[in-house]
Amino acid sequence: MKNILVTGAVGQIGSELTMSLRERFGNDNVVAGGRKTKPSEKLLNSGPFEIVDCVDAQEIANVVKKHDIDTIYHLAAILSAVAEANPVLAWNVNINGLYNVLEVARDLKCAVFTPSSIGAFGPTTPLDNTPQDTIQRPNTMYGVTKVAGELLCDYYFKRFGVDTRGVRYPGIISNETLPGGGTTDYAVEIYYEAIKHKKYTCNLPAGTFLDMMYMPDAIKAGIDLMEADPTRLKHRNAFNVTAMSFDPEIIAAAIRKHIPEFTIDYDVDPVKKAIAETWPNSMDDSAARAEWGWEPEYDLETMTKDMIEVLSKKL
């Protein structure tokens, strides 16, 4: 029987991942770990919740022992734009937090899922059809923590036998919890603004192509990887996974098929623009497809249809 801890369970991915894991493995078998942000009623009422600050190793160990955890989905992190504004905080949370999780996992025999990101690539990486194994010299603190995190997770697998696995997530689009301070956040905000105001001022310039994925596929990727046959895995930290690539003009055109009067204009954020320019336009995810059967279900059209249907009711 699996006993799972999700750190960052109140965040954009963690909040929906926790609910999916509870559906699959049982409510009482999935502990939601959060720090300060108030969890939703849905999260609180559907299973155990614990205050877990990943920079406090003892707090993690206490929760792992209390609930006899055997698998940790470690989602707690500072995202790219916030990390550029607070690089020291980002290093502390993204690296010291990860180190604490890995040490607890080594000591108490837990498997660990840690997401990396397209942010783990940099300006010298081939940006089109970015290979699984290629140059990784990001020039953002977020990217530095993601590359270091990948290497640390692989080290804990090879040196200590900790079952560490991860994916390089693209921008994730969801209709439950808003993202917190990422460069790709525009691709979520645009749907909310399209429905509320039929217009959106985008902070990334037209022509900025980035890999993206709908939340149901992001959750499927994490769980499928953790459930995959380990003997098939040639890679571990971390797999390129993607579902689509678009720029602001393309997603605006997809929205216009549902809201014809929707318009987009631009007020570019120079920090986010500089970050996005160093990230892939599109990744090659053939290794994930070959080693554990990765296959996204949603493309831009089907995601847009679902986002507008769900948000129209919600808003």
Residue 171 interacts with ligand VAH (CB under 6 A): yes or no: yes
Residue 140 interacts with ligand VAH (CB under 6 A): yes or no: no
Torsion, Cα of 285, 287, 293, 294 (10° steps) = -20
Residue 300 interacts with ligand VAH (CB under 6 A): yes or no: no
Residue 170 interacts with ligand VAH (CB under 6 A): yes or no: yes
Tell me the C-alpha distance between 129 and 126, whole Å.
7
Residue closer to ligand VAH by CB (options 33, 138) is 138
Question: CB atoms < 10 A from the CB of 159, how many?
Answer: 9
Q: Answer yes or no: 156 catalytic.
A: no
Residue 143 interacts with ligand VAH (CB under 6 A): yes or no: no
Candidates 17-25, 117-125, 240-248, 300-308; binding stretch for ligand VAH (CB under 6 A): 117-125
Residue 119 interacts with ligand VAH (CB under 6 A): yes or no: yes
Residue closer to ligand VAH by CB (options 34, 182) is 182
Question: CB atoms < 10 A from the CB of 132, how many?
Answer: 18
What pairing do the DSSP bridges indicate for beta strands 49-51 and 30-34? parallel
Question: Applying CB under 6 A, which of residues 31, 69, 118, 195 lies at the interface with ligand VAH?
Answer: 118
Q: Residue 202: how many CA atoms within 13 Å on its side-chain side?
A: 24
Residue closer to ligand VAH by CB (options 51, 85) is 85
Residue closer to ligand VAH by CB (options 104, 147) is 147
Instruction: Count residues binding ligand VAH (CB under 6 A).
Output: 14
Question: Which residues are CB-contacts of 83 (< 8 A; sequence separation ≥ 6)?
Answer: 89, 90, 94, 140, 141, 142, 145, 181
Question: Applying CB under 6 A, which of residues 71, 132, 184, 245 lies at the interface with ligand VAH?
Answer: 184
Residue 80 interacts with ligand VAH (CB under 6 A): yes or no: yes
Residue 280 interacts with ligand VAH (CB under 6 A): yes or no: no
CA 272 to chain centre: 17
Residue 138 interacts with ligand VAH (CB under 6 A): yes or no: no
Tell me the C-alpha distance between 116 and 120, whole Å.
7
Options 73, 142, 169, 200, the catalytic residue: 142
Tell me the C-alpha distance between 85 and 122, whole Å.
18
Residue 219 interacts with ligand VAH (CB under 6 A): yes or no: no
Candidates 23-31, 177-185, 239-247, 307-315; binding stretch for ligand VAH (CB under 6 A): 177-185
Residue 127 interacts with ligand VAH (CB under 6 A): yes or no: no
Tell me the C-alpha distance between 172 and 95, whole Å.
22
What pairing do the DSSP bridges indicate for beta strands 167-169 and 116-117? parallel
Question: Which residues are CB-contacts of 133 (< 8 A; sequence separation ≥ 6)?
Answer: 235
Q: Which two tokens stand for residue 70?
A: 């055997």
Q: Which residues of 162-190 are buried (b: 16+ CB within 10 A; e: fewer)?
A: bbbbbbbbbbbbbbebebbebbbbbbbeb
Residue 183 interacts with ligand VAH (CB under 6 A): yes or no: yes
Residue 248 interacts with ligand VAH (CB under 6 A): yes or no: no
Residue closer to ligand VAH by CB (options 166, 171) is 171
Best CA proximity match to 211, nearest among 105, 130, 98: 130
Candidates 115-123, 223-231, 247-255, 283-291; binding stretch for ligand VAH (CB under 6 A): 115-123
Candidates 175-183, 215-223, 289-297, 303-311; binding stretch for ligand VAH (CB under 6 A): 175-183
* Contacting residues toward ligand VAH, per CB under 6 A: 79-80, 117-119, 142, 169-172, 179, 182-184
Residues identified as active-site: 142
